[in-house]
Structure 1
């Protein structure tokens, strides 16, 4: 079986056109990211079969759901769909909502698998409660469990945290990370939240005005300088690593990744724990030699691989490979000239601030 999702759609409205051709991984989390009106939800609805594109092709891990002569209706597509609002049946308990989801599935989860999902989402104590007795975060966790109860081959999530306040979002994100780590179900996750994308996504599709501006692995795509991706307030890189050392005296931990190690504030994570870190281009400077007399703890050796103009004519985005890991720096053109920066030039990367995001 092919381990990918091929999705190509052309759908035209009077004031909007969706025109995409995507080849997505058939496992992990793919984030559909973009501003309001970029086409994220429309694309998700096409994949679900809720919108019928005039020209469309959808192949999920080798199984054709739609092409020129074939359209599998929504109720026959083996998928789970989680909306912004939990949309639970108010007259049913959480358990009743799960059982309803299982009844509509051709091949629902068996009891052991459902118990595993219940434990992953931490809802066992909520099963006998009706939706009105649950918080927004609890309702959404039950809704996710209901979507998983149908044993989907694809899980679609349309801004599942958008209706929650910050506290509830922080409450539910760890459960989504558990699903990412433990379930082998490809997930398409619509979001305009940089934090959610940075924490959850393995792959990203950046949409703008109905078209894919960029797509690829999260780390590689965010580090592009030819099409800079503003994930929130600035361009930056997201790296994956593990907690390798704790400096208890200074309340720091070292996160090890393919290019070396970065010291960050200690939040109590155990050694060996996998984490993601985010480095904004504005917090990175470059030098030609190692600097000893500096307050910056994180100094890494790398080489310039690519350069591109930034949004202001005074600035340049510089991509540096550090042990195979890309990092982006924003520097002035004056500094580019002074350091004679060019692809292949060895440099020291000085990182002022690192954000631990999960």
Structure 2
């Protein structure tokens, strides 16, 4: 199922004017605070009535201002996952999961509760009340409740923002499974580049209420002219395959013939992955580097160099593994004599590749 969104709305400090069509899977709204992400989600949910626009999931029209059509929130068949689980404290997990099903139309396509419970790994929590759940467990139950409501669309408004890094690492694989195993489209809000790289089927980058770029995560995150969440969000997204797990705690990856190492991951040998390499973790060398502790070296040619108002520059390097970005100073660019077409080598520390930057490959629009 695909999602079509057209919205125009004025708010204090922002004039929202956006238009995008999203393929099946996870569509990520990505940008800084105040860029319009939550406003879009609230309009889709029916919590905000925009001045003009149209939103539809396939032929299911949620509203169309030209046709004066407005479907009330409770009839939109949406699953909403908030920053906090927002579970009913007086109900146990089993009852919270069943709540959405009570209001789903009788003829709606229904997910198998046992399958959802197994997918989210919450079978042992069914008799507990929310007060006895961790933050990560609450979010898994909230995902299950949204899915079992037989929604036509799932909205996730920064669902990991309230969690610490350990709990985020716990939850991300479940969103990946939701993306890969469930046919319901997901509109996902975040300002985390790591979440975009791992989850997005398609990215809608927002700035000041406008769409500045849309496309696969590998294209949007690698575009230094966009930087919707700041320069620290810029990075490359590479497609790799797990080659082997070494006894010294490292995992070796094949990146289109190039070899990369990172701290050992749980993915199986032969599994296809996406990894994000932040631009600030890449060092450039004009000559093949020797005598370094870094294990990852990708050779290529300079594709482009973009300089901002400050001392920094983003160098885009074409390598066999794909485009790699390096955030360096303009002084370094001049000292190395870098220009388009020049041979260069990207050096990446193994420990710079964090677990949250590693996720399953998306086979469509990745």
Match of 2:25 among 22, 25, 28: 28
Which of these residues, 306, 309, 323, is aligned with residue 307 of structure 2?
309
In the alignment, structure 1 segments of 5+ residues that lack a partner are none
* Separation in 2, partners of 1:281, 1:165: 23
Q: How far 1:102 sits from its partner (Å)?
A: 0.9
Matched, 1:144 2:146: no
User: C-alpha deviations, 1:176-232, integer Å up to 9, x for none?
Assistant: 232233223221111233443333223222323322333321111111122335468
Structure 2 unaligned spans of 5+: 359-366
Residue 242 of structure 2 aligns with which residue?
A: 243
Show the 5 A alignment for 1:111-130: 113-130=112-129
Alignment of 1:205-224 (within 5 A): 205-224=204-223
- Of residues 32, 40, 62 in structure 2, which corresponds to 1:65? 62
- Distance across 1 between alignment mates of 2:102 and 2:161: 28
Q: Which residue of 1 aligns with 2:133?
A: 134
TM-score, normalization by structure 1? 0.87
Indicate the SS of the match to 2:100.
helix
Q: What is the CA-CA distance between 1:328 and the residue it aligns to?
A: 0.7
Q: Does 1:89 align with 2:88?
A: yes
Alpha-carbon separation, structure 1, partners of 2:226 and 2:196 = 18
Q: What's the counterpart of residue 362 of structure 2?
A: none
CA 305–62 in structure 1, closer or farther in 2 if over 3 Å, else same: farther
State the Cα deviation string for residues 84-120 of structure 1 (Å, max 9, x = none): 2322223332222222211211244546x22111111
Deviation at 1:332, TM superposition (A): 3.7
Range with greater deviation from structure 2 (337-346 or 327-336): 337-346
Q: C-alpha separation between the residues in 2 aligned to 1:306 and 1:96?
A: 56
Task: Indicate the residue corresponding to 2:328 in structure 1.
Answer: 331
Residue 225 of structure 1 corresponds to 224
* Contact preservation (8 Å) 1:224, 1:319: no
Question: Which whole-Å CA distance do the structure 2 matches of 1:333 and 1:165 have between them?
Answer: 35
Aligned partner of 1:5 in structure 2 is: 3
How far apart are residue 10 of structure 1 and its match? 0.8
Name which of structure 1's ranges 271-280 and 286-295 shifts more when overlaid on structure 2.
Answer: 286-295
Residues 259, 222 of structure 1: alpha-carbon distance in 2 compared, 3 angstrom cutoff: farther
Shifted more, 216-225 versus 76-85: the winner is 76-85
Q: Which residue of 1 aligns with 2:289?
A: 291
Take 2:129 and 2:330, find their aligned partners in 1: how far apart are those partners?
61
Deviations 1:223-245 (A, max 9, x none): 11223354684532232322112
> Are the aligned partners of 1:108 and 1:150 in contact in 2 as well (CA < 8 Å)?
no
- Rounded to whole Å, the distance in 1 between the matches of 2:37 and 2:226 is 19
